[in-house]
Amino acid sequence: MTLQPAPIRAVPVPLLASPGRRRALRSLAAGMVDWVPTDRPRCDLDLLITGAMAPLTGFLGRADYESVCERMRLADGALWPMPITLDVPAEIARRLGPGEGLALREPSGALLGVLWIDDVWAPDLDAEAEAVFRTTSDAHPGVAHLRERTHPFYAGGRLEAVRRPFFPSFGRISPGPLEVRTEFARRGWNRIVAFHTRNPMHRAHFELTRQAAESVGAALLLHPVVGMTKPGDVDPVTRIRCYQALMHRYPTGRALMAAIPMAMRMSGPRDSLWNAILRATFGCTHYIVGRDHASPGPDHDGRPFYDPYEAQDILFRHEAETGIATVAFPALTYAPALDRYVPADELPAGAETRTVSGTELRSLLASGSDIPEWITFPEVAAVLRSAQRQAAASNG
C-alpha cells in the first residue's frame, strides 16, 4: 500500500522586512556593531530569510541550542535536529548584549539584516561535535569545521532581513519555498518527491530518482546543494550544469530542478532528518533517501561514522512530525542482461553485474577514454570533461 503523506509540517514564513522597515533598518544599522557572517552561517541565513527554516525566526539562542544538541528538539519541544548558530569572535561578542542589534553584512558592506540579540555565549564545541556528529575525530569534516573554522562565541536572536545573501551564478535558480510551492501549484502537482544531491548525477542516480518518482506516482524536485558540501566535491557550477544536461531525460513535465544554498554538516542521520524537514517546507510530500545519506565517508581507520541505514530509519521514526513520506531506495546495480539498474536484492542468483568506483570514473574522464552510457550519460561526461579542461588551463 502506498504511504499517504501527512499534512505539510511547516508553512514557510519569510523573514524579509517590509520596504519601509528595510529603510528603517538600514538607518538603525549605521550605529550597530557590524559582522560579515562566514560561509556556513551565510548559507543558514539565506534559508532563514526565505522561510525554509520555519519555525526558526533567527539564529538559535542558548536554550534552543542546548536542547537541539541534546535531544534534536527546540526548547518548546518542536522537532529540529540541527543547531543553526551564528559564530562570532571575542571582539564582537564582548560588544553585544541582550536587546542590541548586530548588523549582518555582505563583504561589500551591503546590509543583509539585523539580528536582535537574545544570547551571547561560549559553547563547548567538543560537546557539540559529540552530540551532533557522535565523534570528536577530525577525520569528520563537521568536526574539523567546528575546530578550525568556528569562532569561539555564538550569538542568538530574532532576525529582520533586508535582502538575501548574494550567491554568484545561483540567484535565479535558487528560489525560496514560497516560490517553489507556487510553481508546483502552477504545474498542478500535488505529489512531489524531493531528491537532495551534492554530486554530479550519473546514470545510477538518474535511474534511482526516476524509479522513486514512478513508484509513488509523484513529480520530481531535483534539489541540489550549492552551498557548503564535503571538501573535495565537484564545484557547484559544474554540478548544476550536469543536472541541467540530463533534465530532458525525465518524463516531460514531471521534473523540476531548483538549487538550495544550504550548508551540509555531513552528520548522517541528523542531516537526513533536517534535509527532509526543509523539503517539507518547500512543499514536497515525499523524500528520497538512500544508503549512507549525508555520510562523510570513513574515519582514519576506514570505519564508517554511521550505520548505512540510519539515515532511513530516523526518517521513518519521525514521519508523523516531519509531514513528509520517506521513499527509501537501496543501492542500484547495473545488470547488463537487462540493460538497466535494479536493486541488488532483485537480481537472480548468479546474474552478471557491473559497478564502477568514483576513482575509476575520474580516471576515465581525465584520460579522455570513452565512458559507457551505463555509467554516465554522454552529455554529463561532456560537462565534466569541459570542467577538467578549464581547470587544467587555469592551473597551467
Task: Specify whether 275 is catalytic.
Answer: no
- Which candidate in 40, 42, 198, 203 is catalytic? 198
The verdict on whether omega for the bond into residue 269 sits within 30 degrees of 0, i.e. cis, is no
- Residue 199 annotated as catalytic: yes
- 320-359 burial, b for 16+ CB within 10 Å, e for fewer? eebbbbbbbbbebbbbeeeeebbeeeeeeeeeeeeebeee
Distances (CA, A) of 187 to 182, 216, 256: 9, 18, 10
Which of 21, 199, 210, 238 is flagged as catalytic? 199
Which residues sit opposite 104 in a β-bridge? 35, 113
Cell of 203: 546514470
| Strand 101-105 with 111-121, pairing | antiparallel
Long-range CB contact pairs, 371-377, < 8 A, 24+: 373/203, 374/203, 374/334, 374/336, 374/339, 375/202, 375/203, 376/200, 376/202, 376/203, 377/202, 377/203, 377/206, 377/245, 377/246, 377/249
State which amino acid sits at residue 381.
A
Q: Which of 43, 33, 139 is nearest to 84 (CA)?
A: 43
CB burial of 174-185 (b: ≥16 within 10 Å; e: otherwise) equals bbbbbebbeebe
Q: In sequence order, which residues have a C-beta less than 8 Å from that of residue 254 and are 6 or more positions away?
A: 213, 219, 220
Choose, from 71, 197, 238, 254, the residue flagged as catalytic: 197
Catalytic annotation present for 362? no
Determine the distance from the C-alpha atom of residue 164 to the mean position of all C-alpha atoms in its chain, rounded to a whole number. Answer: 17
List, in order, residues 6 or more apart from 217 with CB less than 8 Å away.
Answer: 2, 191
Task: Please identify every residue annotated as catalytic.
Answer: 197-199
